[in-house]
Structure 1
């Protein structure tokens, strides 16, 4: 049974036991009846955990059942993200025979006329992802040409040099390898605005990922709040590779970073330069990344970041600690504050790591939560994570005095070694700005406009 089917089974069991119809549950979850049908049949998966939490409460799930449902959703969501961002297969270079000049001359005389180009680019084309087609792969090498023996020998010599360089540099300098240096773990932008962050091993000479800078001035660049979740990934093998002397191991972790998490699923505020007449109505939480990007808006006063971690190998990984790095501090912009909701409530206050960005050296401090009167213990390191046991970290950063660019460094240890994993907003720093004294607007539904 797949992770999505297991999650759907748990939802059906809770619904049947609760005795509520799809229509009643759909209204309590603020979704459509057809969408809820798809969740319970395994045809779709909720994009946000808030939907799963409300479903469990509506069905009267116990604390243990809610935990099981949450864990099943995390596994199914991780599988969905992994399927959406599966890396392309690593191309393999094709060995090319090198002939002596007299053999090349004989081959040229025997080969019919072709129109392909001879040279080093032809030799390395497969490593760059432009290898021969299926029709060419069964034919004679495409670098033969009908020319004099001296020209053919020169072309073959250039090909031999290119092949030698390929053997030294590897099949693809942009492809991460297990045990690679600081570049290992840098992935590609996937669907839904997902981008990978860099895994920064702890090794001599390996520097952590830096805040984007202006190439002309060298100063840190402010970034508009971007959408989606960022996936920090590193290659993994079936078994932990032995450490290579002089090289730091790649992080055996994947991290899905959500940078637009609203309190109780509805309460948040953004700073935007545009006037209220030019700003569209507030979105739902799932559409917040695209809305904020279109308005060039930044998080106002506070920002909640949720990181879902799971291992990529067969063994367990120990998470040792979380460090906060502030890359830039600026004066908060004199923009308007737009509240996403006029107020909402919930019986769940998750346990978080609280970060005060105004502190000279911000720390991630564990804070206990509350679930309908039941105390939730504060998160504490070290933590254990594996492919079958994901971990969710929730970080809430606040500021009252700066427009801050910041990121997180997660320290980890595994049998293959140790290092750090950079957690940011799709390769760019997270950005949170103070909003004290700025005009505050809320959306008046009855009037269909923003009002103070």
Structure 2
């Protein structure tokens, strides 16, 4: 039995025991009956654990059953991502042109490229969060945001989360995908930056807008590696004392392509509508964005799942926003991923206004079908058996921004800072106000305004 079939079997067992129909259960999960049926038949896999967690709670699963379901989803998701990695996007190779005989050319000796200068950072201050990018006339918004997972899995499931490894389903995972952009996020490389808050207090000067042909979006989706291994990735640690790096007691899994309600999002691309591929499902968004040279338009949701790696608990003290660069937004087209999707859940999150001179991660309460969800608040406690999910929703109406997050922590081994970014490079979100907006017309098989 495959990992996906085993996961589907557990879903069916919980559903049958609860005595719920597909229709009734779909309404509780804020999804369609056909999608839920595909999950239970093993024909599809949820893109994020939030859906699985809500399924378990709706069916009255015990803590042990929730752990088993979490473990089965992790294994099936890892298998799906590994299968995606085995099918890279083909790159066309031009045929060589016939040339006349000529003298041989001797290749020059390779010259080592200089190490890049560290990017300046800016610590940030609150301002009202701007409204998301405007919708085209074809678009009808019917709902808000889908939940970030309240992960209740035990230590076994959490260990499997780390064992799932980086997201190998995204092209150029862990490597550079464009000017100042990263690939798969969610690793932990010990580095030695200055003390927290030591960056420049003024925003860097505007730079040239990158060419439309350069892939500028994140290619990472759910990379997971420990914060103790020296590898390029989405997290890094700042030592608490010069010359002495603490043992980092945290591991982080970063998802930088999270869509509202699992279906609603927008990207900017410099390509014409006729050369842009149809919209993907959320799980395939990193590869799609990389192939189209696309960046997040107007807003971006980032989810970070954190868990401890030792016996003691770790205290998460604060989350700070750092803007590395602000540029003039590119004059590209906006491509909407959905023509409307529903959901009765607005998860609590940290909202970030990237246009503020000193942006802050501002706690915002949520709502679940009329029941209020309290705003997240620091300090937070995390351990191997008690994971924590942080949801950050950043927005801009005025800049093409490179940014990252610094998470300050204190644990048994000391204290430090965990850098949350996109494969070792900044996250990127660009304003899209006044740009042409396209939606995908399924009946015509093309993008239309």
TM-score (structure 1 length as normaliser) = 0.62
Q: Tell me the distance in 1 between the aligned counterparts of 2:328 and 2:248.
A: 36
More helix by share: 1
Q: Tell me the distance in 2 between the aligned counterparts of 1:279 and 1:204.
A: 40
1:358/1:402 contact within 8 Å kept: yes
Q: How far off its partner does 1:198 sit?
A: 4.0
Q: How far off its partner does 1:233 sit?
A: 2.0
The superposition leaves residues 72-105 of structure 1 with CA deviations (integer Å, 9 ceiling, x where unpaired) of: 66666667889999xxxxxxxxxxxxxxxxxxxx
The superposition leaves residues 108-162 of structure 1 with CA deviations (integer Å, 9 ceiling, x where unpaired) of: xxxxxxxxxxxxxxxxxxxxxxxxxxxxxxxxxxxxxxxxxxxxxxxxxxxxxxx
Match of 2:314 in 1: 317
Q: Tell me the distance in 1 between the aligned counterparts of 2:15 and 2:35.
A: 18
1:293 aligns with 2:290: yes
Q: Tell me the distance in 2 between the aligned counterparts of 1:373 and 1:67.
A: 26
Q: Tell me the distance in 1 between the aligned counterparts of 2:56 and 2:23.
A: 14
The superposition leaves residues 210-231 of structure 1 with CA deviations (integer Å, 9 ceiling, x where unpaired) of: 99xxxxxxx8997433232233
Q: Tell me the distance in 2 between the aligned counterparts of 1:224 and 1:204.
A: 25
Q: Tell me the distance in 2 between the aligned counterparts of 1:288 and 1:46.
A: 14
Q: Tell me the distance in 2 between the aligned counterparts of 1:264 and 1:355.
A: 19
The superposition leaves residues 374-403 of structure 1 with CA deviations (integer Å, 9 ceiling, x where unpaired) of: 000000111111111111010000000000
Query: Judging changes above 3 Å, is the alpha-carbon distance between structure 1 residues 435 and 16 closer, same or farther for their aligned structure 2 residues?
Result: same
Gaps of 5+ in 1: 86-187, 212-218, 237-242
The one of 36, 41, 54 equivalent to 2:40 is 36
Gaps of 5+ in 2: 82-164, 174-183, 201-206, 211-215, 230-239
* Structure of higher RCO (CA pairs closer than 8 Å, 6+ residues apart): 2
SS of the residue 1:288 aligns to: helix
The one of 403, 412, 418 equivalent to 1:415 is 412
2:268/2:333 contact within 8 Å kept: yes
Match of 1:224 in 2: 217
Q: How far off its partner does 1:244 sit?
A: 9.8
Q: Tell me the distance in 2 between the aligned counterparts of 1:446 and 1:83.
A: 33
Q: Tell me the distance in 2 between the aligned counterparts of 1:245 and 1:422.
A: 18
The superposition leaves residues 186-241 of structure 1 with CA deviations (integer Å, 9 ceiling, x where unpaired) of: xx95633445444568x895689999xxxxxxx899743323223352239xxxxx
Query: Judging changes above 3 Å, is the alpha-carbon distance between structure 1 residues 369 and 204 closer, same or farther for their aligned structure 2 residues?
Result: closer
1:371 aligns with 2:368: yes
Q: Tell me the distance in 2 between the aligned counterparts of 1:445 and 1:425.
A: 32
Cα root mean square deviation, aligned: 4.2
Residues 26-65 of structure 1 correspond to what in structure 2 (within 5 A)? 28=32, 30-31=34-35, 33=37, 35-38=39-42, 46-52=46-52, 55=55, 60-61=58-59
Q: Tell me the distance in 2 between the aligned counterparts of 1:407 and 1:377.
A: 25
Count of matched residue pairs: 327
Match of 1:16 in 2: 17
TM-score (structure 2 length as normaliser) = 0.62
Range with bigger deviation, 17-26 or 289-298 = 17-26
Q: Tell me the distance in 2 between the aligned counterparts of 1:244 and 1:333.
A: 41
2:189/2:228 contact within 8 Å kept: no
1:22/1:33 contact within 8 Å kept: no
1:200/1:422 contact within 8 Å kept: no
Q: How far off its partner does 1:345 sit?
A: 1.7
Match of 2:155 in 1: none
Q: Tell me the distance in 2 between the aligned counterparts of 1:421 and 1:206.
A: 12
Query: Which of these two proteins has the greater Rg computed from alpha carbons?
Result: 1
Residues 66-145 of structure 1 correspond to what in structure 2 (within 5 A)? none
The one of 277, 280, 284 equivalent to 1:280 is 277
Residues 172-211 of structure 1 correspond to what in structure 2 (within 5 A)? 191-192=168-169, 193=173, 194-198=184-188
The one of 392, 404, 424 equivalent to 2:401 is 404
